């Protein structure tokens, strides 16, 4: 199965305590305020966790994701405009004031896809518009996520998440057992997340027409060797 097919309906449940979306959204809104932003495109928006927070802060939000299953959940959550689209082929009706891509969306792109994706993002933005996104760091993918197994288990579902580190990427095999009466039904899906070094991200941004304003750990924290989430704040030239 493609990634985020079977996982979609449990994504919010399984990731409930994973990330500090409220603090991240404060960082994004501070950037937005600095640039007089009204409309934000939320790339790889998934189930709309960040879209919903930005919408509540008064922004017009367009959410883009390749998984129709994730977008179905997002549409139940809030009234942002949601588009099912591969962000590598991003095509918007008009240029937006700002783009964001939070929680690993960019890790799903191969290293060779970074600069072309950033170029599409630049195309979708007004001159001077901010683009803020993150990647799970090489440190995290190597030391925390790669070659590790995670699980979720309760009365209705069991999820096994086994990872294999392959040097430039982590292959993630998800096995979900859903209880239906007296039986458990099994579904499988695979995710591949790619390792992106900060220097490669910055080079690809420059190539695509962005200037990097700030790099931080998890939206505003001081960067260290062991940072888990590298956040980039760039501006379209
Ligand atoms: C870890 S989820 C993050 C979702 C959301 N941003 C959040 O914070 O909950 C990664 C998302 O990236 C999406 N995605 C991966 N590759 C994509 C692509 N090429 N185009 C659009 N969406 C993509 C997946 O469908 C998934 O919803």
The predicted-structure confidence for 135-157, as pLDDT tens digits, reads as follows 999 999 999 999 999 999 999 99
Number of H helices, E strands in the chain: 7, 11
Atom 10, ligand 1: residue with shortest CA distance: 105
Q: Which residue has the higher pLDDT, 37 or 1?
A: 37
Tell me: pLDDT of 42 over 80: yes
- Tell whether 97 and 161 lie within a shared domain: no
Q: Give the pLDDT confidence score for residue 174 in this predicted structure.
A: 96
Which strands form 157-165's sheet, in the order they lie side by side?
149-153, 157-165, 169-180, 183-194
88 lines ligand 1 (CB under 6 A): yes
Cα of 183 from ligand 1 centre, angstroms? 31
Residue 1 lies in a domain: no
**Amino acid 16: pLDDT:** 82
Tokens in use for 36?
């007089």
Per residue in 161-192, pLDDT tens?
999 999 999 999 999 999 999 999 999 999 99
Asked whether residue 117 falls in the same domain as residue 150, the answer is no
Pick the closest to residue 117 from 38, 186, 25, 204 (CA basis): 204
Q: Is 47 exposed, middle or buried (0-12, 13-18, 19+ CB in 10 A)?
A: buried
The confidence band for 15, taking pLDDT boundaries of 50, 70 and 90, is: confident
Q: What separation in Å is there between the alpha carbon of 46 and the centre of ligand 1? A: 5
CA–CA dist 230, 216 (Å, integer): 6
Q: Is 34 exposed, middle or buried (0-12, 13-18, 19+ CB in 10 A)?
A: exposed
Same domain, 144 and 219: no
Pairing of strands 60-65, 169-180: unpaired
62 and 108 housed in the same domain = yes
Pocket residue to mutate for ligand 1, from 3, 28, 44, most atoms within 8 A of Cβ? 44
Centre of ligand 1 to C-alpha 80, Å, is: 16
Both 71 and 153 in one domain: the answer is no
Q: What is the pLDDT of residues 49-100, one digit of tens each?
A: 999 999 999 999 999 999 999 999 999 999 999 999 999 999 999 999 999 9
User: Whole domain around residue 52: which residue ranges?
Assistant: 8-136+196-236
């Amino acid at each position: 199965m493609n990634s985020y097919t079977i996982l979609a309906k449990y994504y919010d449940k399984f990731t409930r305590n994973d990330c500090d979306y409220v603090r991240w959204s404060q960082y994004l809104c501070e950037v937005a305020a600095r640039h007089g932003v009204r409309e934000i495109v939320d790339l790889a928006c998934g189930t709309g966790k960040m879209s919903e927070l930005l919408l509540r802060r008064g922004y017009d939000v367009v959410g883009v994701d390749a998984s129709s299953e994730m977008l179905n959940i997002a549409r139940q959550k809030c009234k942002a405009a949601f588009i099912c689209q591969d962000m590598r082929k991003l095509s918007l009706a008009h240029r937006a004031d700002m783009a964001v891509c939070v929680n690993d969306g960019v890790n799903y792109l191969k290293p060779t896809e970074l600069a072309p994706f950033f170029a599409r993002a630049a195309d979708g933005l007004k001159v001077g518009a901010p683009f803020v996104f993150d990647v799970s760091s090489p440190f995290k993918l190597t030391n925390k996520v790669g070659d590790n197994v995670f699980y979720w288990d309760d009365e209705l579902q069991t999820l096994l998440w086994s990872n294999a580190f392959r040097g430039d990427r982590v292959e993630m095999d998800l096995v979900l057992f859903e209880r239906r009466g007296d039986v458990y039904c099994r579904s499988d899906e695979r995710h591949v997340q790619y390792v992106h070094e900060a220097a490669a991200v910055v080079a690809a941004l420059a190539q695509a027409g962005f200037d990097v304003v700030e790099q931080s750990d998890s939206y505003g924290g001081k960067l260290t060797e062991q940072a888990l989430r590298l956040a980039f704040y760039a501006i379209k030239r």
